[in-house]
Chains A and B, each alone.
Chain A
């Protein structure tokens, strides 16, 4: 408004009159029925989106007092939950002169546990236990009554150190025995929860241990467990699938089950190699021969297959122990030898020869690697000898200095032999 004054713009009379009109409308809205104005103002002065109180109800409450005369009086009362006769005073709503009847409204919350009381005879007859004296049992029951079967507190208060599970076990077994002994016939008591499901102390100890382990798991452990569970799920599923496939076949060979297990043990191994110690016996089984046998078995299961497919499977099985780089090197080798990576005429003989060739190349590459590592090892050793100043080794030093470096090992073999002879 001031800005308009400054700018010298004429004040528009219309919006002003609109404001005046909207105000009385708001006023009528502001006074909802049933709630006083002050209370309504507490809610922010705006009607709630969803009225929680039915407005009609509010008016009804006010009608009742119009019929009756209500006074408030300072009266005494007794509490049935108390053992003494203490009389306390409080305000009481008196309707038409008559005070309200009934017990103190909070007396009903005074609950007790029914702890069984046994006589000495009963104890002699049914309740004797080698690990519990009568004294201890009596103490236990006394504490149970005092503390309403809160065994944690009882265990803390118990004179001799007993675990919570032991106390529970004693209490429940005694109660159970008494129940059964006092019952006129076993059928009557068989419905009682104590009789139906007796306290199993070992189970309880295990359960609590497991629970504490779960609660104290670190995040890493949680993740590991989740991984293992998912792996187990996968394995179960693959087993189911394998079983289903087996069932579908007319003739089931004995090879399939160990083959299936082979494949499933492999993922279990990789999942948790450090945790499972017993798998060390399984690892040597994963040799090339087993892979080839497994591949052959799976091919036989197919009944009908293409020779090229069979070759692929056998090649994969043979090179399963090799890494990707080694496989690439094998293929490079084949190309250098002018051999097709996939034979053009895959007959039985050709495929067999091809497979054997690949295996031999793998062997060659492995041997070459071994040779290299041994050469490096020996050159390391030579280096260390030249460095140590110990007298007895100097003789070797002089010998070694004649021998050339291991790089040109292969070619110098003949020369070295000659030198060593003197």
Chain B
């Protein structure tokens, strides 16, 4: 038995030194490239006969494209028309942060409602990706975003707690003012394919980093700008209630906080060096003092 133990340990021991060297090399690579995509290396994924196809599928390493989204719900109290089981009319949705059309990357959205609803699994195939229902209870909705095949094969899961009643308990329920709860997030696509990059680089819903000079993408037929406007979600009546998320406020706060912390760090460092100096003096023999 013990022999077996030694064997197993030996296995891992053997593996570890190799890995440590592997680690070092790969980490160095990562450290160099993770800060700024200096020269994104392209990787061949599939080799097919068609050259163009090959190019479109090539993955852009160290590049990420992100789509800022906002998801949440708006709930209206029905007031006089409210019954015991239908006290609110609510809409749960996923939208682009600036109300842009998400269908450029999102193929469909699947929403899983509470089991007490008929057909609790609802699918929305086209923008605006929202679902309206009436009910009385708050529950967690599982939102699954399915993307186009060139974007990602794996879906992404979001969770939103449906809110019908306002935060302040005694707040009077108003028919005119809805309860709005939204969450901001960004969907990050790491190492997008060239084809996808080319397709979305000019779309307002997508944040695309600037490619370094000398990097050329294969030409992709530009989408008709007019076509896009036809399904413009800006015509949505709920738009007036949407919150405007701005990063400026948070960036300011964070910067201020960081300054404070850095000042404290400097102070503590000074104190430490003082003590070190003191200790050195203590170590000197008394005749030198």
Taking a contact as CB atoms closer than 8 A, the residue among B2, B15, B147, B184 that contacts A346 in the complex is B184
Chain B positions 234-259 with a Cβ under 8 Å from a chain A Cβ? 245-247, 249-251, 253-258
| A297 touches B (CB below 8 Å) | yes
For B9, list chain A residues within 8 Å (CB): 228, 268, 272, 275-276
| A210 touches B (CB below 8 Å) | yes
| A255 touches B (CB below 8 Å) | yes
| A299 touches B (CB below 8 Å) | yes
| B152 touches A (CB below 8 Å) | yes
How many residues belonging to A are interface residues under a CB distance threshold of 8 Å?
83
- Pair A345/B247 contact, Cβ less than 8 Å: yes
- Pair B20/A300 contact, Cβ less than 8 Å: no
- Give chain A nearest CB distance to B10 CB in angstroms: 10
Mask: chain B, 7-25; 1 = CB below 8 Å from A; 0 = not: 0110011011101101100
- Pair A261/B16 contact, Cβ less than 8 Å: yes
- Pair A364/B265 contact, Cβ less than 8 Å: yes
- Give chain A nearest CB distance to B265 CB in angstroms: 5
Taking a contact as CB atoms closer than 8 A, the residue among A225, A254, A381 that contacts B5 in the complex is A225
Chain B positions 202-257 with a Cβ under 8 Å from a chain A Cβ? 207, 245-247, 249-251, 253-257
Mask: chain A, 245-259; 1 = CB below 8 Å from B; 0 = not: 000001100110110
For B45, list chain A residues within 8 Å (CB): 250-251
- Pair B250/A350 contact, Cβ less than 8 Å: yes
- Pair A228/B5 contact, Cβ less than 8 Å: yes
Which one, B84-92, B120-128, B134-142, B269-277, is touching chain A?
Answer: B269-277
For B265, list chain A residues within 8 Å (CB): 360, 363-364, 367
- Pair A371/B268 contact, Cβ less than 8 Å: yes
Taking a contact as CB atoms closer than 8 A, the residue among B27, B246, B271 that contacts A289 in the complex is B27
- Pair B20/A378 contact, Cβ less than 8 Å: no
For A276, list chain B residues within 8 Å (CB): 9, 13
Chain B positions 176-204 with a Cβ under 8 Å from a chain A Cβ? 184-191
| A139 touches B (CB below 8 Å) | no
| A347 touches B (CB below 8 Å) | yes
Assembled-state Cα–Cα distance A57/B261 (Å): 101
For A265, list chain B residues within 8 Å (CB): 12, 15-16, 19
A225-B5, A290-B23 given as contacts; is B43 within 8 A of A278 (CB)? no
| B262 touches A (CB below 8 Å) | yes
Assembled-state Cα–Cα distance A395/B289 (Å): 9
Assembled-state Cα–Cα distance A275/B276 (Å): 37
For B156, list chain A residues within 8 Å (CB): 304-306
Mask: chain A, 272-294; 1 = CB below 8 Å from B; 0 = not: 10011011011001000110010
- Pair B20/A282 contact, Cβ less than 8 Å: yes
Which one, B74-82, B107-115, B166-174, B278-286, is touching chain A?
Answer: B278-286
Q: A345-B245, A374-B279, A378-B275 given. 8 additional CB < 8 A pairs?
A: A225-B1, A225-B5, A228-B5, A255-B26, A306-B186, A307-B188, A349-B247, A374-B276
Closest 3 CB pairs of A and B: A307-B186, A261-B19, A337-B257
Q: What are 18 A-B residue pairs whose CB atoms fall within 8 Å in the complex?
A: A210-B2, A225-B2, A232-B8, A235-B12, A258-B22, A265-B12, A276-B9, A285-B20, A303-B154, A304-B188, A306-B158, A306-B188, A307-B188, A345-B184, A348-B186, A350-B254, A368-B268, A396-B282
